[in-house]
Amino acid sequence: MKYIGCDAVESSLYFTMDTVRSCGMGYNDTEWYWYKDYHGELIDPDLIKKKREQWRETFKSGKLIDQCKNCIHLIERDFEENPKINVLLIAHRTACSCCCYYCSFSKNPDWKRKMNTRKAYDIMPVILDLQDKNLLSDKLLISVAGGECTEYPDYEFERLVQFAYFYNYKMDIFSSGFNYSKHIEKMLNKGLANLVISVDSGTKETYEKIKRVKKYEQVWENIKNYSANCTPNDRFGQVTLKYVICKGVNDNKNEFDKFLEKCKDCGVKHVRIALEYDYWNNELKPQIESGDSISNNLLEFVKYVRSFDESCCDISILPTEFAGNLFNALDNDKKYFGCL
């Protein structure tokens, strides 16, 4: 039966500190949970099937929850009767040596210490069991986004990469870039991974202001080495550098020009633009919802960013469920501009 549904809700497992969700958009008040109190137990296939059937009835009825309305992930088509898991989003760990001032954990020093010392469950027995039960799609994407993956204890990240490499699964890997990983290099070289590093700056001064660590030269050296070992394969086998726009810090042409110069020097061809979360949620989103106009400075900066052609860098503006709200402000351009 054809209906408006969501692949993420039907066939994704999003592992957080103590839940397993099907939606990775960050909402805590939706019904899209496989498990609400989770600590590394093996996944029950019968529970997956039962909840998927319940959620399908919600989609078929057309009575979407508020957070799903206008989401870019909704699609109308015939959905598989019993699909395998297409996406594993791994975000069960929170420890990270970086201290980005826009990170929710870093805004409270006590909370940051707690997140850096909390004990998390080992994800590998869960994933291996899913493989043994034949629940994983042969087109599986594993996205590693929790904490700093190269700092996971007990070689958990290395075991995860070896698993993906063996089964030829694709990976999205989010990293600070502090530590050079031969395992990431191997995945890039085989065209199986997309490595995303948020640099957010083109100068050392701005980098240290945003990241609050002195790792600027080391990160760019690692980026250069990763980039030299890429074997492009569609959107995989590449390094993507993210530039999170922070109001009054890096939202200027000079900073972005220097950032692009560094990208070219390191052989990076892919850039992703995003909005700092609080800037969007506390300022821009309320402005849009009240009918106020967006800051001309921001609009001019965004248009400036988009003016670069692919011979310089392939610049994408991050899509999120909020993106459509900025269409009018950006002259109905079909590029999205979101937050992360």
* Pairing, β 12-15 against β 85-90: parallel
Q: How confident is the model at residue 334 (pLDDT cuts 50, 70, 90)?
A: very low
Task: Give the residue, 234 or 130, on which the prediction is more confident.
Answer: 130
Q: How confident is the model at residue 101 (pLDDT cuts 50, 70, 90)?
A: confident
Q: Classify burial at 179, counting beta carbons within 10 Å of its beta carbon; exposed 0-12, middle 13-18, buried 19 or more.
A: middle
Q: Residues 6 or more apart from 209 whose CB is under 8 A from it?
A: 101, 201, 249
Helices of type H across 133-252: 156-167, 182-189, 204-211, 216-228
| pLDDT, position 319 | 39
Instruction: Tell me how far apart the alpha carbons of residues 180 and 198 are, in angstroms, rounded to a whole number.
Output: 15
Q: What mean pLDDT is reported for the chain?
A: 83
pTM above 0.85, yes or no: yes
pLDDT at 239 over 90: yes
Whether 32 and 23 have beta carbons less than 8 Å apart is answered as yes
Instruction: Tell me how far apart the alpha carbons of residues 145 and 174 are, in angstroms, rounded to a whole number.
Output: 5
What kind of fold does domain 2-283 have according to CATH? TIM Barrel (3.20.20)
Query: Which two structure tokens, joined as six digits, stand for 4?
Result: 């408006």
Q: How confident is the model at residue 129 (pLDDT cuts 50, 70, 90)?
A: very high
Instruction: Tell me how far apart the alpha carbons of residues 194 and 202 are, in angstroms, rounded to a whole number.
Output: 21
Among residues of the chain, what percentage have pLDDT more than 90? 47
Cβ–Cβ contacts within 10 Å for residue 103, how many? 17
Query: Which two structure tokens, joined as six digits, stand for 247?
Result: 């109001």
Residues of the chain with CATH 3.20.20.70: 2-283
Instruction: Tell me how far apart the alpha carbons of residues 50 and 28 are, in angstroms, rounded to a whole number.
Output: 21
Task: Give the residue, 180 or 97, on which the prediction is more confident.
Answer: 180
Task: Give the residue, 31 or 151, on which the prediction is more confident.
Answer: 151
CA distances from 8 to 12, 52, 86 (A): 5, 11, 8
**DSSP-assigned letter for residue 200:** -
Query: Which two structure tokens, joined as six digits, stand for 142?
Result: 């594993």
Q: How confident is the model at residue 81 (pLDDT cuts 50, 70, 90)?
A: confident
pLDDT digits (tens, 9 = 90+) for 216-235: 999 999 999 999 999 988 88
pLDDT digits (tens, 9 = 90+) for 38-70: 999 999 999 999 999 988 888 888 887 777 877
Q: How confident is the model at residue 294 (pLDDT cuts 50, 70, 90)?
A: low
